[in-house]
């Protein structure tokens, strides 16, 4: 397929966004690139991808420095593809059905501060793990029991002695300063950890007007990072962490018989 001049210009612009370089343009113009996540992988596209969870990101064509839309560090190698969608030509770094390769790219992303991915793996609900503590802490703080358990599951896999590479500790993987803020004397006490983690989640929900996705992102990457990016930070670790928690919430809601929509705070 031959790419027409205007279409190729658009393709080159997306490739430039992919490369996270300043775009060569004679007039400043805001451009939208969709950051799409599917099965733990990230792609960039000029339109939302069917089957992916996509978030629009705007940037100026004349910006000196573009944001790291990938959410991971190091050298990124990939291809830019063209396809027809809803009667329009769109471009994406994901090879979807009907796509034709336009060009390849190899770029190095700018420095960043990726969040921790969590030590727990998605698996079957473990209702026997600290059941009394989770019920009590969730009720005391007005939280969805399934969400609180999902966070613990994603964070530590319910290992009360877990310590992450970043220094987070215990069942709820609290950082030392957070544990101190909530009066935790023993970070490896499951009771203290769960109570403090629940109080912290309640505080995050308050801060983000009951937006559970933002609260989950802040629990993973920190309040300062969410503030800086004005939303979910573009870190692969955080994107995957949120997806993991969403999957676990649904499984715990089913196991607990609550059947509430995924990632909704208890009212």
What number of other Cβ atoms are within 10 A of residue 91's Cβ?
27
Residue with tokens 């962490």: 241
Burial (Cβ within 10 Å: 0-12, 13-18, ≥19) of residue 24: exposed
Inter-residue contact 169 to 179 (CB < 8 Å) = yes
Q: Which of 235, 243, 248, 247 is nearest to 35 (CA)?
A: 235
Task: Compute the chain's Rg from CA coordinates.
Answer: 21
212-221 helix and 190-207 helix, angle to the nearest 10 degrees:
120
- Residue 141: other Cβ atoms inside 10 A: 18
Taking the CA of residue 194 as centre, how many other CA atoms within 13 Å lie in the half-sphere pointing to its CB? 27
Residue 90 backbone dihedrals phi, psi, to 5 degrees: -125, 160
Q: Catalytic residue positions?
A: 155
State which H helix or E strand residue 241 sits in. helix 236-256
For the chain, helix, strand, coil in percent to 5 are: 35, 20, 45
Residue 30 exposed, middle or buried by CB count within 10 Å (0-12, 13-18, 19+): exposed
- DSSP reduced 3-state for 5: helix
């Amino acid at each position: 397929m031959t790419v027409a001049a205007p279409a190729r210009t658009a393709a080159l612009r997306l490739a430039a966004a992919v490369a996270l370089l300043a775009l060569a343009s004679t007039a400043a113009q805001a451009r939208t690139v969709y950051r799409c996540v599917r099965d733990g992988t990230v792609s960039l596209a000029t339109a939302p991808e069917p089957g992916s969870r996509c978030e629009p990101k705007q940037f100026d064509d004349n910006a000196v420095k573009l944001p790291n839309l990938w959410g991971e560090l190091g050298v990124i190698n990939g291809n830019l593809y063209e396809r027809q969608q809803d009667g329009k030509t769109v471009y994406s770094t994901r090879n979807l059905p009907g796509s034709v390769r336009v060009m390849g790219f190899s770029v190095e992303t700018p420095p960043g501060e990726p969040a921790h991915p969590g030590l727990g793996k998605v698996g079957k609900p473990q209702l026997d793990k600290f059941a009394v503590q989770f019920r009590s802490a969730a009720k005391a703080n007005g939280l969805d029991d399934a969400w609180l358990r999902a966070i613990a599951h994603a964070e530590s896999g319910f290992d009360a002695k877990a310590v992450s590479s970043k220094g987070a500790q215990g069942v709820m993987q609290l950082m030392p300063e957070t544990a101190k803020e909530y009066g935790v004397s023993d970070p490896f006490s499951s009771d203290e950890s769960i109570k403090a983690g629940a109080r912290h989640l309640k505080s995050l929900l308050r801060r983000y007007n009951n937006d559970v996705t933002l609260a989950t992102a802040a629990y993973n990457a920190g309040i300062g990072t969410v503030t800086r990016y004005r939303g979910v930070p573009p870190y692969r670790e955080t994107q995957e962490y949120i997806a993991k928690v969403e999957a676990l919430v649904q499984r715990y809601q089913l196991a607990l018989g609550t059947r509430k929509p995924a990632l909704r705070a208890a009212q």
